Amino acid sequence: MAQIAYVNGRYVPLRDANVHIEDRGYQFADGIYEVCLVIDGAFWDLEGHLARMERSLGELDMPAPMSRAALLQTMKELIRRNRLRDALVYIQATRGVAARNHVFPPEGTPGGLVMTAKRFDLDGSDAIAETGVRVISHPDIRWGRVDIKSVSLLPNVLAKQAAKEAGAAEAWLTCDDVVTEGSSSNAWIVDSDGTLITHPKGNHILGGITRETALACAAELQMRVEERPFTLVEARAAAEAFITSATNLVTPVIAVDDAAIGDGKPGPVSRRLREAYKLRARGLRA
């Protein structure tokens, strides 16, 4: 069956999914996006994703392309047409099509909205999590409002490519030797006392929805958490480290640059937190 996309009011085969050359998302990266998960036919962490999408739109003074109720119905129909029970749904909204001009188009210009859905396996990254991943450090050269989930991701792309070329899975972005977050994930370490440490929310990181759920799981497991900046020196000396994102869930980090984390294997804290996250996603509790 052909994969179906939603493009500005129409459901079309993915191969025919096109947007106008003067869509501002294409010409100015004047748009935002979200990635939502569907697990066993139900949306997972949906309220957090929709709230963050609405916040991103508001921070950019960009009108919502449709109401929340209409958006939810469109997402459900997209999943139905793709015959998916477990899915990753990508949503992108832009300021729409207008003659190329840096200033906003006239009020009332229709915004752009595209969505795709593909199969997602909650257990699909288990093998990777069992062995853990390597990360590299990379300068954080992004703009000053990375808390907005905008489609302006070129610095992230360059960092991720640098990681790939180094044989690593992720790049941890650094500013004055402080780790902000990964190129497409949030960064965490666990100190020798078992305390989880992750950068606080603010303009310097994108507040991940998976990050919030990981914090909830940690509270349920009575794990100590500190939301504060940490340095590369701290990361390399940590007992454990891990990343969180919608697609990675909670994935242990076994090395930062050339420094092994702990004994170079996934540690008990990150493994326990990952299992708690998966149980929670399936409607259970740790």
12-47 pLDDT per residue, tens: 999 999 999 999 999 999 999 999 999 999 999 999
Check if 149 is active-site. Answer: yes
Whether the CB-CB separation of 96 and 19 falls below 8 Å is answered with no
| CB-CB contact of 184 with 245 (8 Å) | yes
Do 75 and 182 fall within a single domain?
Answer: no
* CATH at residue 137: 3.20.10.10
Percent of the chain scoring above 90 in pLDDT:
97
Q: Residue 139: which pLDDT band, with cuts at 50, 70 and 90?
A: very high
Distance in angstroms (rounded) separating the CA atoms of residues 250 and 263? 19
Question: Are residues 80 and 139 in contact, defined by beta-carbon separation less than 8 angstroms?
Answer: no
Is 150 found in the same domain as 96? Answer: no
**Strand-by-strand arrangement of the 112-119 sheet:** 10-13, 4-7, 112-119, 87-94, 31-39, 42-44
* 221-to-126, 171, 228, 279, 286 alpha-carbon distances in Å: 21, 28, 20, 12, 7
User: Is residue 132 included in any domain, yes or no?
Assistant: yes
**Per-residue pLDDT at 1 exceeds 70:** no
Mark whether 115 and 212 lie in a shared domain.
no
Domain end position, chosen among 78, 104, 119: 119
Question: In the structure encoding, which two tokens stand for residue 216, read together?
Answer: 């909830």
Residue 154: C-alpha distances to residues 19, 176, 219, 259 (Å): 20, 21, 35, 27
Q: Is 166 left (phi over 0), alpha (psi -120 to 50) or beta?
A: alpha
- pTM for this one? 0.94
Q: Which residue in 118, 149, 265, 278 is the catalytic one?
A: 149
CATH number at residue 68: 3.30.470.10
Residue 186: which pLDDT band, with cuts at 50, 70 and 90?
Answer: very high
Supply the range of the domain harboring residue 196. Answer: 126-281
Structural domain count, the chain: 2
Task: Single out the residue in 119, 137, 154 at which a domain terminates.
Answer: 119
